[in-house]
Amino acid sequence: MKYSFTGDTMQLRVPAKLNLTLDVLSRREDGYHEIASVMQSVSIFDQLTLRLRPEPGVTLSSSLPFLPIDQRNLASRAALVFLQHTGQKVGVEISIKKRIPVGAGMGGGSADAAAVLFGLDRLLHTRLSEKELATLALTLGADVPFFLLGGTALAEGVGERLTPLPLAPRCTLVVAKPRYGISTPVLYQRFDQRGIHYPPATPALVQALRRPMTAAQLAGLCSNAMQEAAVEELPAIGQMLQELTEAGALSATMTGSGSAVFGIFARSSTARDAVTAMRKAHPGCFVSLAGIIRE
């Protein structure tokens, strides 16, 4: 997470994530699912501005007019949780320039929440420990702690148990999102109804990351147990996966619970050609180049 600040104002740039793998292991008694996933920060960013003010309260504005700007927005909720936890009697203005697509399975809302926690800790000089920040983050969502960590990590449980991993190899990605999103609860329901159990793919990638590997090797180990159920629910996902493969991707995989997909390319020139072609075929849809963040 990149940041800079002057006085009572901080600028932050927080990256999106992709799930290089996603295994759904079991359904818990509380209705949630145990997962195992390798999560990866990628170079698609939201930009946030945090500004302190003397009058208590949290205000939020966004470059996307349809996003909620009250406590339904995780960034606003994160500020309130932080101020309550630390006892700080100040106000916060939050401005978000959205670049991470909404409803994509790339963690845009969670990324913004993590950026607010991270930023307020530094602006207010509260110096919370990494563990304390992660605990606050978890109250906001299972994958919010990942955005405080970033890089490459194994996520287990419902996504909250994180283990840093060696960085994934350099490669060029094309990320594409259909016009419509997909409901995570509906997708898990369809996944459960199908009753198909997939062998876990995450352990193989975790093991491979512990030694030097190429982009082609990485591509061969990416998978998503939810992908077939998602294609049944939203066929446009399958169409984009096929188009990425036909455009020369070494592999094409859905991220998280969708609806975004990503292709791994051996050559950046081929990836750029794929972006051009897909933007023509899907005007109004999100299509972008990205890279694995190695910082």
Tell whether 129 and 192 lie within a shared domain. no
Percent of the chain with pLDDT over 90: 93
Mean pLDDT, the chain, integer: 95
Instruction: Give the whole-angstrom CA distance, residue 42 versus residue 50.
Output: 23
Rounded mean pLDDT of 242-247? Answer: 98
Range of the domain at 228: 172-291
Mean pLDDT, range 138-144, rounded to an integer: 95
143 in the same domain as 33: yes
Q: Are residues 37 and 98 in the same domain?
A: yes
Q: Please compute the mean of the pLDDT values over residues 166-195 and round it to a whole number.
A: 94
Same domain membership, residue 137 and residue 240: no
CATH of the domain at 183: 3.30.70.890
- Residue 184 pLDDT class (50, 70, 90 cuts): very high
Res 32 pLDDT > 90: no
Examine the domain organization and report whether 232 and 157 are in the same domain: no
Q: How confident is the model at residue 113 (pLDDT cuts 50, 70, 90)?
A: very high
Q: What is the pLDDT of residue 45?
A: 98
The per-residue pLDDT for 197 is 83
State how many domains the chain has: 2
- Residues with Cβ within 8 Å of 284's Cβ and at least 6 positions away in sequence, in order, are 179
Last residue of a domain, one of 164, 182, 199: 164
Tokens read off for 49: 């501005």
88 and 223 share a domain?
Answer: no
CA distance 132 to 35: 24
- Residues 192, 137, single domain; the answer is no
Q: What is the CATH number of the domain that holds 133?
A: 3.30.230.10
- Residue 59 and residue 145 share a domain: yes
Query: 116-137: per-residue pLDDT in tens?
Result: 999 999 999 999 999 999 999 9
Shared domain for 184 and 231, answered yes or no, is yes
Both 19 and 64 in one domain: the answer is yes
3-state SS class at 156: strand
What is the model's pTM? 0.95
Mean pLDDT of 91-114: 97
Residue 214 CA to residue 76 CA, distance in Å, equals 40
Q: What is the mean pLDDT of residues 99-123?
A: 97
Kindly list the catalytic residues: 17, 143
127 plus 262 within the same structural domain: no
